[in-house]
Amino acid sequence: MPDTHTLAFRLRPDSNVKVAVVGAGGNGSAVLLALPYLHQALMAWSNNQIGLDVVLIDGDTVSEINCVRQPFTRNEVGLNKATVLVGRVNLFWGLDWEAHPVFLSEKNMSLLDRVNIVIGCVDTKAARKLIHEGLTKGDACYVDYWLDLGNRAHSGQFVLGQTRERSGEKQLPTIAELYPESVDTTTPEDDLPNCSAEEALQRQEPFINQTLAMHALAMLTQLLRYNEIRYHGGFVNTQSGIVDPIHVPVPVGKKSPK
């Protein structure tokens, strides 16, 4: 059987869990629109003492193609994605979450400072490498967890990792450690823009983003509610219906429980 991982930071009744979502595209918008449900659950479980404080970071604007499979309307074309989504969530749920209408860069990595969980929803190796290096070397090196989501047309993966060790214990490996190719910018990647609605749907079919986001947040919910998890990621395939978990690794020198 797999080992378990215990929550790295302590939930306090006077402090919300601080979350930064990087990217407001297919995965990022699905995550952002689902996070209020986790916020409400945490509030209920803690007698209204603990919730989520969320910031959404993205400098991109809404295009007409985005309206095909992302939660934007043609009336929002040209507006900043992060501002639109956070404004919508705040209005509906009565929250005061924040939008940063900028692209994350080496110069503004401080946006991730004092954040408990970074949820990366980026679609290029360069952007994922930027998060990796920022969390391991930059101002945001004290982030507790990095949850990365990435997908293709009908499949994807989510990986929850830690960028630093605590008390000498082995941390959860990140997406960059498990799959170095995910941050290898020396290899080519398909980053061409979608030129039509049909092409956009060929590259990412409907519901893959929502399915991936639900699995990732379900895992995160288990960690925040029960303080431990047995898996820290997974591979999701909407074509086959198969979900393969990434189990928490057994520390070196420790036998796996029977």
pLDDT tens, the chain, 258 aa long: 669 999 999 898 889 999 999 999 999 999 999 999 999 999 999 999 999 999 999 999 999 999 998 999 999 999 999 999 999 999 999 999 999 999 999 999 999 988 999 999 999 999 999 999 999 886 556 799 999 999 988 899 999 999 876 655 668 999 999 999 999 999 877 544 454 454 555 567 889 999 999 999 999 999 999 999 999 999 999 999 999 999 999 875 455 555
- Provide the residue ranges of all domains of the chain, joining segments of one domain with +: 5-247
Residues in the chain: 258
Predicted structure pTM score: 0.92
CATH topology of domain 5-247: Rossmann fold (3.40.50)
CA gap 68, 194 in Å, rounded? 11
Strand order of the sheet with strand 52-57? 98-100, 52-57, 17-22, 117-120, 145-151, 155-161, 231-237, 242-247
